[in-house]
Structure 1
Amino acid sequence: MSDTAPTPEPTSPLQIPDYRRFWTARLASAFATTGMVVILGYQLYDVARGAYGMSIGKASFQLGLLGLVQFLPLFLLTPVAGVVADRFDRRLVVTCSMLIDTVVALVLTLATWLQVLNLPLLFGLGALHGTARVFLGPALSSIAPNVVPPALLPRAVAINAMAWQIGSLGGPALAGLMFAAYAPAPYAVSTVLLAVGAVRIFGIRPLPPKEDNRNVHPIKQIREGLSFVWNERFLLGCITLDLFAVLLGGATALLPVFARDILTIDGHAVGSYGLGFMRAMPGLGAALVATFLSRRPIEQEVGNKMLLAVIAFGAATIGFALSRNFALSLVFLALIGASDMVSVFIRNTLVQLHTPDGVRGRVSSISGLAISASNELGEMQSGVAAALLGATGAVVFGGVGAIVVTVLWAFWFPELRRARTFAAKYT
């Protein structure tokens, strides 16, 4: 008989070394990309207004176009990215994607330092960032279920969200401060953080596919993934709810407009300094909720709570649009993040537990496409709506739309209302 005591089962995802590597890489990536994207949007709007002499409406439309060029690679390559995540080592896919984003951050650092920024360059780098994300998302989302036992997955989802939301909070705020002090600094920091994240992910044990599907034609695998989501009405309802609610309700694309031309402190526009805090406040609200959920996850009536959270998201969006007090606007932005975090936590946990590992990459890619469509196409929708209705009218329209979509989905997909707990359908 061996005297070696059995290794105790982990009671927290953070007790698992590979999960810690995953979490720190996710945190570094979140800090880097959220800060980089915020400053990229601000610079694009500022270049359009200054160097190109565009009006507020036309410059706002350029922000919408930035969302579109980031979305197009996602739209075109998402089916391929899902197959890649299911056919290859997900750890290597994430590492390569992070290194592409590292190159984007490095080029932005040099272009800002040399003062050679122009709209074609900014649009091109935005498209390359979108390309990196389309491969990063499915593979990264699928790593946690591979390194964490199913019983710990709800807590892992909440802790995952903490990493993202801490980055969403700190990244934009620090980027705004650094940009005000020295313009290339936020991009330089993003370059280092993305490189660190790539190294941490590469340190995870190899994650080859559980099934050898390399002999299956990629087109067949794409069809299998799409068919699985289409036939699982519960998954279809979760994914499309996020798609349409956030597509209409997103206000973040127009934050540069509010920072430069609408919100003021003592008669002066809040500018890039205020933009950093505005962009960070949804992250603050979400991080606080994620911290709470990591300790006390939602366990009952999960479907109804997800629907109510999306309605709260729409209401807070309307409040932000109508506010002209900077402090109150920050509160509404925090409420937007808090309500969105509840929805994200429930939706992500349900999607992971209702998806077998063999198609998890493809389902994650479809879910990622919906999220990206809601964000990037939502930015396009916001830019077009702002050109027609003004920034305030566009955000109010989006908040009302998010509420209407949620009510409709509650009746069209009753499976969402019937979801009581996080019972796993697949392990």
Structure 2
Amino acid sequence: MAKTDPYAALRIKEFNIFLLLRFALVFGWSMQFIIIEWEVYRITKDPWAIGLIGLMEIIPAFTMALFAGHIVDQKEKRNLLAICIAAFSLISFGLFLLTWPEIVAEWSTKTILYSIYALVFFGGFLRSFFGPTIFSLVALIVPKKIYPNAATWSSSTWQVASVLGPAFAGFSIKWIGVHWALCIVFGLVIFSLMVLLFIKRKPILNPKIGEPVIESLKEGVRFVFKTKAILGAISLDMVAVLFGGAIALLAVYAQDILKVGAEGFGILRAAPAVGASITMLFTAYLPISKNAGKKLLGAIFGFGVCIIVFGFSTIFWVSVLALFFSGVTDGVSMVIRQTILQIKTPDHMRGRVSAVNSMFVGSSNELGAFESGLTAKLMGTVNAVIFGGTMTLLIVLTIGARNKTLRNLDLTKDLEEHDRD
């Protein structure tokens, strides 16, 4: 196998433009989600209200996912992404208006809360298109033989933006308030739309343009379920992240348990992404394709341990370290999963396969937020986090013992085949 070039994807101009676009978009999106979590808890003081944010996003994202994947495979990707970003700017501007005291001064708390939930719901609808469109666009920008490298840099960019977005959100709440922090989000979304214009339109590679929707959706689902490597990886990640959704309760920890305020909240929220970013940058130099299945199982097991430690901790720096290492393990999981998807998915099915993936993994974050909010309401915040981490460990052990295909997964041969293409 040829020596790995850690900068292979970065040598492509359009891919660098794509990374800038993705950074701005994820930075703004992660800022917005954190600011809304903070604001909703501030006005309600109820962890259940935070859980409902996840539920409001996951309902449309989950139910529209397969249909969105079909549309993505049928349409030109660059322009479709532009439409999605433009629609997202309307959500950001709406949230900006909802936190403007001069506008909502006479509104009841319930009216403001329901309006926020409505915009989050619309955001979930858009999210069902974002994932498949971005996944498909990357494959049209870089050649197949450097998909793994492109996946690493793309995921790393996502994580770096996820580091800085929440941290900046926490500090911006303190410095300029929720309202003007959301104005920054709106500006970032508009900037990402402008950057996208520097990427050329891409050809539509689907040989079945105009295929009936039902047949198209069935084909995508069948492909995922018959490709055991994809099914095993995304199923494991889904159930682990579902029960490890402690991140959704960080506003409660920051305000009521650790008592570290908005700045501490930003640091806590950024810690997992810092760990994941460092890990994924290392994987650009040290590929983790060999024994990928065992590494994936070990990484998610480690993630569960970190969540349990965080749940027990009442010391700020211990909590930050636990979240940091949860990001380290999550970074390994993300790179392996994205590499599997990019390598094993045919070009004409990328939208649908990514849509199924978003139903499994992407949706699990919001379902995890809902699960955390519900269990926090029923058994208390600390017990809810410990319960989630414990369930993650049990699920990993069960899947690892029963799924031999996943346990023995090795991507080395697949990468060698792509190198020869």
TM-score normalised by structure 2 residue count? 0.93
CA distance in 2, matches of 1:29, 1:321: 31
Amino acid at match of 1:69: M
Which position in structure 1 is the counterpart of 2:321? 331
Kindly, what percent of the aligned residue pairs are identical?
A: 32
Of 86, 94, 97, 1:107 maps to: 94
State how 1:244-259 maps to structure 2 within 5 Å.
244-259=239-254
> C-alpha deviations, 1:222-272, integer Å up to 9, x for none?
111011111222211111111111001111111111011111xxxxx2122
CA distance in 2, matches of 1:139, 1:412: 34
Of 349, 358, 363, 1:373 maps to: 363
CA distance in 2, matches of 1:142, 1:369: 16
Contact 2:229-2:340 at 8 Å conserved across structures: no
Of 184, 191, 194, 1:196 maps to: 191
Give the C-alpha shift of residue 101 in structure 1: 1.6
Give the C-alpha shift of residue 111 in structure 1: 2.1
Q: Secondary structure at the match of 2:100?
A: helix
Contact 2:74-2:210 at 8 Å conserved across structures: no
Contact 2:6-2:285 at 8 Å conserved across structures: no
Any gaps of 5 or more consecutive residues in structure 1? 1-8, 50-58, 264-268
CA distance in 2, matches of 1:412, 1:40: 40
Which position in structure 2 is the counterpart of 1:156? 150
Query: Is 1:215–2:202 an aligned residue pair?
Result: no
CA distance in 1, matches of 2:230, 2:151: 17
CA distance in 2, matches of 1:124, 1:11: 42
Give the C-alpha shift of residue 203 in structure 1: 2.3
CA distance in 2, matches of 1:191, 1:80: 28
Amino acid at match of 1:245: A
Amino acid at match of 2:145: A
CA distance in 1, matches of 2:52, 2:374: 9
Of 329, 343, 365, 2:333 maps to: 343
Of 151, 170, 178, 2:164 maps to: 170
Query: Is 1:287–2:277 an aligned residue pair?
Result: yes
CA distance in 2, matches of 1:277, 1:331: 11
Which position in structure 2 is the counterpart of 1:261? 256
Give the C-alpha shift of residue 220 in structure 1: 0.9
Which position in structure 1 is the counterpart of 2:262? 272
Which position in structure 1 is the counterpart of 2:64? 77
CA distance in 1, matches of 2:297, 2:240: 10
State how 1:7-156 maps to structure 2 within 5 Å.
12-49=8-45, 59-114=46-101, 116=104, 118-156=112-150
Give the C-alpha shift of residue 10 in structure 1: 11
Amino acid at match of 2:25: S
CA distance in 1, matches of 2:405, 2:204: 31
> C-alpha deviations, 1:343-376, integer Å up to 9, x for none?
0100110121111111111000110111232111
Amino acid at match of 1:395: V
Is the deviation greater in 209-218 or in 244-253? 209-218
> C-alpha deviations, 1:1-55, integer Å up to 9, x for none?
xxxxxxxx99611111111111111111111011110010110111112xxxxxx
Which position in structure 1 is the counterpart of 2:225? 230
CA distance in 2, matches of 1:206, 1:24: 17
CA distance in 2, matches of 1:237, 1:339: 18
Contact 2:289-2:336 at 8 Å conserved across structures: no
Contact 1:281-1:333 at 8 Å conserved across structures: yes
Give the C-alpha shift of residue 421 in structure 1: 2.4
Contact 2:58-2:363 at 8 Å conserved across structures: yes
Contact 2:152-2:335 at 8 Å conserved across structures: yes
TM-score normalised by structure 1 residue count? 0.91
Give the C-alpha shift of residue 412 in structure 1: 2.9
Is the deviation greater in 290-299 or in 359-368? 290-299
Give the C-alpha shift of residue 413 in structure 1: 2.3
Contact 2:296-2:332 at 8 Å conserved across structures: yes
CA distance in 2, matches of 1:96, 1:272: 34
Which position in structure 2 is the counterpart of 1:53? none
Contact 1:169-1:284 at 8 Å conserved across structures: yes
CA distance in 2, matches of 1:215, 1:82: 14
CA distance in 1, matches of 2:328, 2:345: 26
Contact 1:93-1:136 at 8 Å conserved across structures: no
Q: Secondary structure at the match of 2:317?
A: helix
Contact 2:274-2:324 at 8 Å conserved across structures: yes
Q: Secondary structure at the match of 2:200?
A: coil
Is the deviation greater in 206-215 or in 340-349? 206-215
CA distance in 2, matches of 1:274, 1:62: 21
**Compared with structure 1, are the counterparts of its residues 10 and 260 closer, same or farther at alpha carbon in structure 2 (3 Å cutoff)?**
closer
Aligned length: 405
Amino acid at match of 2:280: A
Contact 2:160-2:273 at 8 Å conserved across structures: yes
Give the C-alpha shift of residue 134 in structure 1: 0.9
